[in-house]
Amino acid sequence: MGKGIAILGSTGSIGTQTLEVIADNSQQFTVELLSAHNNKELLVKQAIKYVPNIVIVTNKDNYEFVKVQLQKFPIKVFAGIESVVDAMQLESIDIVLTAMVGYAGLLPTIKAIEAGKNIALANKETLVVAGSLINKLTQEKRVKIIPVDSEHSAIFQCLVGENPDWIEKIILTASGGPFRGKSIDFLKDVGPEQALNHPNWCMGNKITIDSATLMNKGLEAIEAKWLFGVEPEEIEIIIHPQSVIHSMVQFKDGSVKAQMGEPDMHMPIHYALSFPERLPSSLPRLDFTKYSNLSFEAPDPKIFRNLAISFEVMKKGGNWACIMNAANEVVVEAFLKGKTGFLQMPEIIENVLVKSTFLSEPTYDDLRQSDSEARIIAKSLIS
């Protein structure tokens, strides 16, 4: 029957592309579980097409609609995040692809690891918020985390067969987003519509705004620290507008490995689901003749302040990444609703860090409290 896949966040950009990968490889993968929060219509369509064992709508207000629509199908329908947590125990699930947006993906990922499931990780906030806890748990349960982010998938692939002690530097590439090369004066007046106009990637609203502010790259740097066991000074961010080189690893002998491919998220998803094998695919092949010029430049942390904040947070450790992530989720939502400006977002995040309680060795309960406190402070600063 192939590997049983649970997709947490099936109606988002990563979730929908994962289902496309599964459809193209139906002999290797089966859909065991789909979960979504608000997009009940799409969730129903997905369930009818793929007929998973279980469908979970985490927003309980949407439960009756989904249940009624699927009552003629052999599909169990549940509601609430607690149902997602419980479902992680299913023996038919081999891989859990975590594509829930933001902090909400942390608890289900923890429960999936505790149940011994391998994780295809598309929710970077899990490691940003609780990297130390997650790493201890994966070692204890002997669970693999295979990253789905194109940058971390690239690094993961570059490191297969290599000794981690040989790493000198990890180089995360960034497209630069829609505002690459723009001045602070230009950024004063940009709105959500401009920020959502990404030049290379088709993603959800939250991650697209993070890409525009370069917070996405800051979060990825923190995620890389935990995934690959490197220190902040061993991580470099470089702007690569063509998005053909997805990331690189520099080794202590001076050699550099790069993973390349078309800017298409189907590829890292396909790799994560099929690992440790490389299954054939019909995905687009890279045509080097279309890319006669590959360019690279350093980001400006004075203009994109979120990048500098992220490295400061990574160096301090403790619960600071949790606080930063919570504040960022609040300000991005406010920006999308027109309640704050583009340049005000990093200012608010810095203020939340100053006003929040710092803990050097937080427990899971501490992180829950830190997340809640940071959100309250951020909302108060916006209002």
Is residue 14 situated within a structural domain? yes
Q: What is the pLDDT of residue 319?
A: 96
- Whether 342 maps to a domain, the answer reads yes
Region of poorest pLDDT, from 142-156, 188-202, 249-263: 188-202
pLDDT of residue 197: 83
Averaged over 83-95, what is the pLDDT? 95
- Residue 328: phi and psi, rounded to 5, are -65, -40
Please check the confidence at residue 295 and state whether its pLDDT lies above 80.
yes
Angle separating helix axes 13-24 and 266-274, nearest 10 degrees: 60
Cα first-last separation, the chain: 53
3-state class (DSSP) for residue 76: strand
Max CA distance (Å), the chain: 62
pLDDT per position as a tens digit, 238-278: 999 999 999 999 999 999 999 999 889 999 999 999 999 99
Helix (H) or strand (E) holding 375: helix 364-382
Say whether both 9 and 142 belong to one domain.
yes
| Residue 258 and residue 160 share a domain | yes
Q: What is the pLDDT of residue 249?
A: 98
Q: 287: exposed, middle or buried (C-beta count within 10 Å: 0-12, 13-18, 19+)?
A: exposed
**Which of 147, 170, 204 corresponds to the end of one domain?**
147
pLDDT for 244: 94
Pairing of strands 245-251, 256-260: antiparallel
Write out pLDDT tens, residues 331-372: 999 999 999 999 999 999 999 999 999 999 999 999 999 999
Q: Is residue 383 part of a domain?
A: yes
Residue 307: in which H helix or E strand, if any? helix 305-316
Phi, psi of 70 (to 5 degrees): -105, 10
- Is position 93 within any domain? yes
User: Stretch 73-78: mean pLDDT, rounded?
Assistant: 97
**Same domain for 169 and 70:** no
Instruction: With beta carbons less than 8 A apart as the criterion, state whether 173 and 151 touch.
Output: yes
Strand locations in the chain (E): 3-8, 29-36, 54-57, 76-79, 95-98, 118-121, 145-147, 167-174, 235-239, 245-251, 256-260
Neighbours of 293 (CB within 10 A): 6
Q: H-helix or E-strand containing 110?
A: helix 106-114
Position 203 pLDDT exceeds 90 = no
Average pLDDT over residues 46-67: 97
Phi-psi category of residue 102: left, alpha or beta, with phi > 0 → left and psi -120 to 50 → alpha: left
Domain assignment present for 281: no
Q: Are residues 299 and 373 in the same domain?
A: no
364-382 vs 125-141: helix crossing angle, rounded to 10? 180
Domain end point (choices 125, 147, 169): 147
Counted domains in the chain:
3
Average confidence (pLDDT) over 1-10: 92
pLDDT at 66 over 80: yes
Q: What is the DSSP string of 319-365?
A: THHHHHHHHHHHHHHHHHTTSS-TTHHHHHHHHHHHHSPP-SS--HH
Q: What is the pLDDT of residue 105?
A: 84
Residue 273 falls inside a structural domain: no
Considering the chain, what percentage of its residues have pLDDT values greater than 90? 84
Same domain, 107 and 220: no
Does the residue 272 lie in any domain?
Answer: no
pLDDT band at 201 (very low <50, low <70, confident <90, very high): low
Say what the pLDDT of residue 292 is.
86
pLDDT at 181: 87
Task: Note whether 244 and 338 are same-domain residues.
Answer: no
Give yes or no: residues 159 and 142 share one domain: no
Please tell me the predicted confidence (pLDDT) of residue 200. Answer: 67
Q: Which residues lie below 8 Å from residue 7, measured CB to CB, with a gap of 6+?
A: 15, 18, 19, 31, 33, 34, 35, 97, 99
CA 259 to chain centre: 19
Asked whether residue 25 carries a pLDDT value surpassing 80, the answer given is: yes
Same domain, 114 and 185: no
Domain shared by 173 and 301, yes or no: yes
By the 8 A CB rule, do 34 and 55 touch? yes
Please write down the long-range contacts of 340-344, taking CB distance under 8 Å and 24 or more positions apart. Answer: 340/382, 341/188, 342/187, 342/188, 342/190, 342/191, 342/195, 342/212, 342/213, 343/184, 343/187, 343/188
CA atoms within 13 A on the CB side of 205: 11
pLDDT at 381 over 70: yes
Residue 24 has pLDDT above 90, yes or no: yes
Instruction: Work out the mean pLDDT of the chain and round it to a whole number.
Output: 94
Give this prediction's pTM. Answer: 0.90
Helix, strand, coil in percent for the chain, rounding step 5: 50, 15, 35
Give mean pLDDT, residues 291-315: 94
Q: 173 and 45 share a domain?
A: no
Lookup: tokens for 100: 């829930």
Structure confidence at residue 202 (pLDDT): 65
Share of the chain above pLDDT 70, in %: 98
Least confident of 100-109, 244-253, 286-295: 100-109
Considering the domain architecture, whether residues 84 and 100 belong to the same structural domain is answered as yes
Compute the distance between CA of residue 25 and CA of residue 153 in angstroms, rounded to an integer: 20
CATH of the domain at 327: 1.10.1740.10
d(C-alpha 103, C-alpha 130), whole Å = 10
Sheet holding 235-239, edge to edge: 235-239, 167-174, 245-251, 256-260
User: Is the same domain home to 31 and 65?
Assistant: yes
Domain of residue 354, residue span:
317-383
Answer yes or no: is 286 within a domain. Answer: no
pLDDT at residue 176 in the model: 87
Hey, is 4 helix, strand or coil? strand
CATH of the domain at 63: 3.40.50.720
